[in-house]
Every structure is written in structure tokens, then in C-alpha cells.
Amino acid sequence: NHLQEVFSQSQEVRTLFENHPDLEECYGLLCMRGEERRQLGMALTDGLVRRDVMQTSLSFTDHQIFSPGSNEAEARCALKCCIFKSLIAHIQQQAIRTETEAYELESRYGALRARSRRFELDPSNDDDHSELWCQMRKIEQQLQDQMPRLISLEDRLRHVIDALSHPEQIVRAQTRSVHIDRMGIKHEQPNKTSHELLLSEILMGCQRPRVACLVCFRRDELLPRKDFLAEAGVFLAS
């Protein structure tokens, strides 16, 4: 069972059970990435089996457990803290990325400006400088369109406050419905072989959405801890 392995490999889940010996089950947010692929498959069309039908398969990968708790309420509370920390981390990364992009643009602009000065000192140069001026104007516009530079501590704090004032622009949740059969094939319309599946998705910034659901995991389903050193020794011995 893959999900059993996912929970068993979570150090947070193991620590929770170790710190609470009487705890029989825990709750946590299971996040995964939905993968849709176009492929040829078989389908029954007008009473005939066709083997060259283009289909969309839906699978889920990259399973992760977040914010496990001893009960659902505790898990939801821990999840809120986790989302807040992720929000702060995203804001910090956005600020760093903006500063890095601005530095690179300024470096490119400085190099182009140096070339333009050489042209001013030597007007007899026959090179076509129209492209040079065009690149400089483009960079100037990019610098103007960027968010304000975060130079001082006050600038950075103001940036964090502004972002936290509109968290829905960074992190949000959505629900979508898909119809899927037992073979994992997605259907555009409901039919006798498909079932409706409601997917709750979390979107963070420009990242791809991740499917999420709150799940319960029992202690007696926890797999024994793997001894990687012992496994490595067996592998080397063979």
C-alpha cells in the first residue's frame, strides 16, 4: 500500500505516535500532484471495441504528509500554521527573486550603456546601434514595471504587510469535479463506467496546484522503521 508507506516514512507522524503512546490514530493533510496524460487506449464505441481511442489518464504522484495531529481539530490548527509559514516563505522568495532580477537587469543595462558611450566617443563607427537603443529602452521599461525596490528594513516590512493584506493573491483553494473510471481514465461526461471525484486543490503563487485532503491514519498500520544501514550492508555483501 503506497499511502501506508507515505505515512510510515513521515518523521512527523512517527514522532507524534512516539510522543503519545496511547494515541491510536492521527490526522494529517495528504498532498499530491495530479498528472494527466494523453494516451491511446481501448473503448467500446457503437458496440465495437476500438484500440486506437485517444484517452486522458489521471494519476497522483509526489505524495506528502503535512501537519499531522492527534485529532482533526489539532491537525487543522497545525495546517493553518503550516500555510502561514509557507505564505511567509513565498513572500521572502518573491522579494529575493525580484531583487535578483533587478540586479541582473541593471548589470545588463550598465553594459549596454557602456557600449553606447563608446559609440558617442566614436560616431564614425558603422555598427547599427538601433538594436542597442531598443534593448536599453526595453530594460528601462522592465525596471519601471517591477515592484518597488526593497532597500531598507522598512521597505521589506512594508512589502510583507502588503502581501499579508491580500493573502488570496498568493494562496487559495479551489474545488473541481472530474469523472474517472476504475482504470484511471478521465471522462468529459458522466457515464455508466465513471464516477465523480471531487478534488480539493491548493494553489501557491504561480506553482502548479496540488490536490489535498485531510486523512486519518491508524497506528497499527505504521510499517516498521527501515534500517538503511543494514539494507546497505546486505546489498554490499551480495
- Please tell me the predicted confidence (pLDDT) of residue 8: 92
List of residues 6+ apart from 130 with CB closer than 8 A: none
- C-alpha 17, offset from chain centre: 28
Residue 219 is classified by DSSP as G
Report the domain count for the chain: 1
Amino acid identity of residue 77, one-letter, is C
| CA distance linking residue 79 with residue 81, whole number of Å | 5
Backbone φ and ψ of 226, nearest 5°:
-80, 140
What are the cell numbers at 222? 505504521
Write out the H or E segment, with its range, that includes residue 142: helix 130-145
pLDDT of residue 126: 52
pLDDT digits (tens, 9 = 90+) for 81-95: 888 888 888 888 888
What is the predicted pLDDT for the residue at 215?
92
**Buried-exposed string 84-116: b where 16+ CB fall within 10 A, e elsewhere:** eebbeebbeebbeebeeebeebeeebeebeeee
**Tell me, what's the pLDDT at 225?**
83
Low-confidence ranges of the chain (pLDDT < 70): 44, 121-128, 147-148, 227-238
Q: What is the pLDDT of residue 198?
A: 92
What is the predicted pLDDT for the residue at 231?
Answer: 65
What does the pLDDT read at residue 26?
A: 94
pLDDT attached to residue 237: 67
**Torsion sign over Cα 172, 173, 178, 181:** positive
So what's the pLDDT on residue 63? 92
**For the segment 38-90, what is each residue's pLDDT rounded down to a tens digit?**
988 877 677 777 878 888 999 999 999 988 999 999 888 888 888 888 888 88
What is residue 182's three-state secondary structure? Answer: coil
Separation of alpha carbons 46 and 58, rounded Å: 25
Residue 185's contacts (CB-CB under 8 Å, 6 or more residues apart) are 41, 55, 56, 57, 58, 194
Q: Please give the pLDDT value at position 61.
A: 92
Enclosing domain of residue 147? 2-237
For the chain, percent helix, then strand, then coil, each to nearest 5? 45, 30, 20
- Residue with the three cell numbers 500554521: 81
What are the CA-CA distances from residue 130 to residues 127, 137, 215 (Å)?
Answer: 9, 11, 61
**Sign of the C-alpha dihedral, residues 157, 160, 162, 165?**
negative
The pTM of the whole model exceeds 0.75: no
What does the mean pLDDT of the chain come to?
A: 84
pLDDT of res. 122: 67
CA 201 – CA 177 distance, rounded (Å): 11
